Amino acid sequence: MAKKKLLIVESPAKADTIKKYLGNDYKVMASMGHIIDLPKSQLGVELEHGFEPKYITIRGKGKLLTQLKKEAKACDRVYLATDPDREGEAISWHLAKALNIDENSMCRVTFNEITKTAVKNAMKEPRSIDMDLVNAQQARRILDRIVGYKISPILWEKVKKGLSAGRVQSVATRLICDREEEILNFTPREYWTVEAVFHDPKSKKDFCAKYYGKNGAEDELSSGEQARAVTAEIKNGKFTVIGVKRGELKKNPPPPFTTSTLQQDASRKLSFSTAKTMQTAQSLYEGVNLGKLGTIGLITYMRTDSLRIAEDAQREAAEYLTQNFGTEFVSPRQYKTKKNAQDAHEAIRPTSINIKPIDIKGSLSNDQYKLYKLIWERFAASQMSAAVYNTISASIEADGHIFKAKGSVVKFKGFMSVYVEGSDEEKEQENMLPELSEGQTVNLKDICEKQHFTQPPPRFTEASLVKELEENGIGRPSTYAPTISTIISRGYVIRNKKQLIPTELGMVTTDIMKNNFKKIVDVEFTANMEEQLDEVEEGKREWKMVLSDFYPPFKENLEKAQAEISKIQIKDEESDVICEKCGRKMVYKLSKFGKFLACPGYPECRNTKAIREGTGVKCPKCDGEILIKKSKKGKVYYGCEHAPKCDFMVWYEPVKDEVCPKCGGLLLKKGGKKIICYNENCDYEGRIQK
């Protein structure tokens, strides 16, 4: 009787999916991620002896490793099918070492998508473990360990408990803190616009135009006096159309998703955090039970910065789009991957465009459906024709003063029949113009002057931070989500609605890092380190050389910082609240959940208090005040001051000084634009008036 073959993957969900494809000849087990790693209790790296890592079995994984060894002995072949990236390659290498498998043997199997065809084809083409990939992971892991384990204790001992540092996280925090400083230091500049509504006597239609300038020169109006002077000069003038331009504008579809663009669009359109996006994408990749269709991996591997699309997927997309939209909507295309991208995997796409989101909605969770629909639509759009607009612009003149109007109308929707790309910037609404002709006159119907002020740069959202990290070469597809999760969990940054706001702790730590470990928080230096790690992966650089080039200047800097950093004093801000236990004035402390009050007499007096933050809105259940609170995960919610006696709690912000016009109940702000009634028996909905 032939022995079985053992296939080891990372997760149980992936194991369950693959098991169904390979049949009874294979036993499929999960390693549950890394099984071997550096110890948590010590640095675990021989700094003076070639940066040799001291790997150990992760606590709690011993029993699992024993089971894997037992199964490996009982099977005649062992295949390692962990994820197809640096981390996955390192996990396979550690497993090979632990299970006495020759790393040069054909033991490694990778698949970009978990479908029956892809898995069976991958099993026919095993390879040896790619040590360049492994070494790139080792270099990254050791760099991060050195930075974290060498700087954090100094911050902890010399400055303040709770401070810590990380190689990529510290740069991400710096970007957020630097942006906050820009906002705080920003001086608004006043400017004015003059906007007119004209009536076209021929078409009987109105249209809007903006003031441009006088006698062909563009004028910037810096005061209300200037704006009112323009209005006074032209109010009784004759308005003539002096120029009309008509044209056609083509808008090409966006490429399929990479990790970065998926995280950005899911943040903008679905309000998903980067971590939630990746968790949901992982479940779609590993496989979902679709009933009669069986268990299928619905998307390709979700950690990628490549835009490449497999030819089979392109052909299938062209056939589907031709049948469902028509040949004029189809335009198969490959997209150019940027220079420093790792092209090992395809772009993120559905494993089959024929599996339509709506057809499998009942088999997916709400989050899975939303994300799969987004990925499906983006990929479909990427293989479709450009959208075409008819454009028109007109110049209207009176006494030398010129107004300009422009508009567009969609002539051919093309890819926009399926997908419209999200954006962080607000877009101007389309302004439709009537069929104007040069030389005709139009009537001034209304005119107004508007005051504006220049705006500071916006705070980062998760979407815009991921974009910034990618554009600066900080981190790689697998690191964006954990980096953001880490800086939030450490209390350096809070997420308020969609904005990432640095805490006092984040600002203080960033200042210390900038003054004492300049290179660690330097964007260019960190990007250069990423390039060196990429070169290790490509076999162009020796991994220990990267470490030996980095460590000596870092060590020197560390010794200088140890002497200087102890001079830093961070005083706690004093409050007016008196500690009822010992009479001292309480001070503000900061945790990852926000500020709280603590007695400065610690450890003799351990009294702490939550900071009360009211809304000025009465609780509908007991007439107490509704307070702003935070969950254990740091999410803002609204609850009664008399909790837990009163169980009132909502996620939406209560509206102050207004009641429901239908039932007199509490109103809540939902999604930034809508107002709803708290009373579940009332269907009132309104709009937030800006």
Contact indicator for 88, 537 with CB cutoff of 8 Å: no
State how far the Cα of 346 lies from the Cα of 312, in Å rounded to an integer.
12
How far is it, in rounded angstroms, from Cα 102 to Cα 38?
22
Phi first, then psi: give them for residue 460, nearest 5 degrees. Answer: -70, 145
Q: State the number of CA atoms in the 13 A half-sphere of 533 facing the CB.
A: 24
Verify whether residue 149 is a known catalytic residue. Answer: no
Is 138 in contact with 543 (CB distance < 8 Å)?
A: yes
Strand ranges (E), 122-260? 190-200, 205-214, 217-218, 239-251
Give the dihedral sign, CA 215/219/223/228: positive
* Longest CA span, the chain: 101
Instruction: Give the pairing of strands 649-650 and 401-412.
Output: unpaired
Sheet holding 636-640: strands in order across?
Answer: 614-618, 625-630, 636-640, 649-650
Helix runs in 242-396, H state only = 259-270, 274-286, 311-325, 357-360, 366-382
Q: Return the SS3 of 274.
A: helix
- Whole-angstrom distance, CA of residue 9 vs CA of residue 297: 14
**One-character DSSP codes across 399-454:** TTEEEEEEEEEEEE-GGGGT-----SSPPPPP-------TT-EEEEEEEEEEEEE-
Count CB atoms within 10 A of the CB of residue 428. 7
Q: Residue 7: count other Cβ atoms within 10 Å of its Cβ.
A: 22
Task: Tell me the one-letter amino acid at 137.
Answer: Q
User: Of 568, 604, 610, which Cα lies nearest the Cα of 589?
Assistant: 610
| CA torsion through residues 266, 272, 275, 278, sign | negative
Decide if 597 contacts 605 (C-beta within 8 A).
no
CA dist 136 and 131 (Å) reads 8
Contacts of 662 (CB under 8 A, 6+ apart): 677, 682, 683, 684
User: What string of DSSP letters covers 23-73?
Assistant: GGGEEEEE--S-SEE--SSS--EETTTTTEE--EEPTT-HHHHHHHHHHHH
Of the candidates 379, 374, 382, 376, which has an alpha carbon nearest to the alpha carbon of residue 331?
382
Beta-carbon count within 10 A of 570 CB: 12
State the Cα–Cα distance between residues 259 and 14, nearest whole angstrom.
20
Q: Are 119 and 22 in contact (CB under 8 A)?
A: yes
Q: Which phi and psi (to 5°) does residue 370 adopt? A: -60, -45
The active-site residue, picked from 21, 212, 285, 301, is: 301
Give the single-character DSSP code of 622.
T
Q: Which residues participate in catalysis according to the annotation?
A: 301
